[in-house]
Amino acid sequence: MPHTPSQSPDLGTAPIGRLLLRLAIPAICAQVVTVLYNLVDRIYIGHIPGIGSDALTGVGICFPILTLITSLSNLFGMGGGARAAIHLGEGRISRAEELMGSCTTALILSALAASGLFTALMEPLLYAFGGSDATIGYARDYLSVYLLGTVFVLFTVGLNNFITTQGFSTIAMATTMLGAVLNLILDPIFLFVFNLGVRGAALATILSQAVSALWVLRFLTGSKTRLRLRVRYLRPRWKYLAPAMAVGVSPFTMTATESLLSVTFNASLQTYGGDLAVGAMTICASMMQMVSLPLSGLCQGNQPIVGYNYGAGNMERVKKSFWLLFRCALTFGAAAWLCVRLFARPLAGLFTDDPTLQAYAAWAMQIYLAASFMLPLQFTAQQTFVAMGQAKISLFLACLRKLILLIPLILILPHFFSDQVFAVFLAEPVADTLAAVTTFSLFLWKLPKITSHRLAELGEQEAKS
């Protein structure tokens, strides 16, 4: 018999459609704002008179390092948030708070370590990531400032997961919106009024993240939160970090491999197409974020529903919420794909005034995002595995698309096409299709076994009590 917790009754009893709408819309808005957060710098930088194209390419070279930093927030934040949702479903509030305290300290220590490491290795890494003599200075200027605010980035992004997992998705959205709006205001001031160049764009970003971090801290220590951040729980304890990392390693790997993927793309494109191809890749990667991050927000909105009901043993609600999530994600994915097909050149024009780069990026975008309508299959299935605490399967699927398929394809396909730049961009839709079909098929096969095993566990626990 399913376990019935005493906490968070809405997640266990409210109509699924209304609940998903209430949780997903703020999560999607938060991810859309995150897209703006990530893109505003590039849009403003790409329009700096005289140097916009080279400066945009330089900032794009920093992307692998920025992505790797963000991935640390997934390891402890998303993993910890998923485990906390299960503890809430079990009615174990104190355990969830101790988990959150351990993850908070782990996030801060990770930020300090990452900042020191990347500062020490900055220049050789940027050259290895596709930098050239024309672009390396802009990359170095941006990254040297950004690394000063790494702790704010990880604190904000990581702990915001613990707000979302409680069902406070509006508060989580406000966290992101606060920083994004401030970044939107500060960017043109630092860039064009104070003439700080790309350093000004980075400074605007870290100041905005600092304000967001204060907002998160204020909420999680206030009276409205269900899970309170307490000083006595800040000592990192392995018994809480290990399960969180086991779940978080999947979204961590998905994000961290994005860094390795960017390096592979940039290095290959620098070899076959030079700075122009690397600049086009910066625009294509930005457009992929505009598709993938709202999808991620939709999945995050569903995660508390799945995690809570999986923890409580209500498998009918788990299945119902997944299929509703899948239909919504598929609709969005198809609409986003159509927009790219119809408006590639205007979308490229958001990032640069250079007509040569615009044309090149529009051509590349049509190839790179050709199978983006397949992404919902992978996102919904893989993130539902995460919500149910299925660490091993999630880790495999996180590695599948990028490490197992995409990176080898980037290196192999240019040997089979006369247009080698085309072959590099083609690797993305081929990998997207193969990964989506594999992930979704595996999900359909494993779901009945996972839910049956969970019900058996709860039955044993009830018999013992």
Local confidence band at 37 (pLDDT 50, 70, 90 cut-offs)? low
Q: Which residue did the predictor score with more confidence, 430 or 253?
A: 430
The tens digit of pLDDT for each residue in 85-101 reads: 888 877 788 888 899 99
For 147, which DSSP code?
G
DSSP strands (E only) in 42-162: none
- Higher per-residue confidence, 267 vs 51: 267
| pLDDT value of residue 268 | 93
Distances (CA, A) of 385 to 27, 63, 357: 19, 28, 40
At 176-226, the pLDDT tens digits run 788 888 988 998 899 888 888 889 988 998 999 999 999 999 999 988 888
The answer to whether residue 7 scores a pLDDT higher than 50 is: no
The answer to whether 55 and 46 are in contact (CB under 8 A) is yes
Residue predicted with more confidence, 38 or 279: 279
Q: In this model, does residue 228 exceed pLDDT 80?
A: yes
Q: Cβ of 235: how many Cβ atoms within 10 Å?
A: 10
Residue 19 is predicted with a pLDDT of 84
Instruction: Give the gyration radius of the chain's Cα atoms.
Output: 22
* Percentage of the chain exceeding pLDDT 70: 96
pLDDT at residue number 4: 39
Which pLDDT does position 346 carry in this prediction?
Answer: 93
Whether 320 has a pLDDT exceeding 80, the answer reads yes
At residue 23 the predicted structure's pLDDT band, cuts being 50, 70 and 90, is confident
Question: What is the distance between the alpha carbons of residues 388 and 288, in angstroms, rounded to a whole number?
Answer: 27
Q: What confidence score (pLDDT) does residue 9 get?
A: 40
As a whole number, the mean pLDDT across the chain is 86
Question: Model's pTM, two decimal places?
Answer: 0.71
For residue 298, the number of C-alpha atoms closer than 13 Å in the C-beta half-sphere is 26
Instruction: Supply 83's token pair.
Output: 């485990």
40 pLDDT above the threshold of 80: no
State mean pLDDT over 56-83.
84
What is the rounded distance in angstroms from the CA atom of residue 147 to the CA atom of residue 313? 43
- What is the rounded distance in angstroms from the CA atom of residue 443 to the CA atom of residue 384? 9
Rounded-to-integer distance, Cα 195 and Cα 336, Å: 36
Kindly state the average pLDDT of the residues 286-292. 86
CB under 8 Å to 303, separation ≥6 — which residues? Answer: 81, 82, 85, 164, 165, 383, 386, 387
**Mean pLDDT to the nearest integer, 310-327:** 88
pLDDT digits (tens, 9 = 90+) for 168-185: 877 887 887 888 889 889
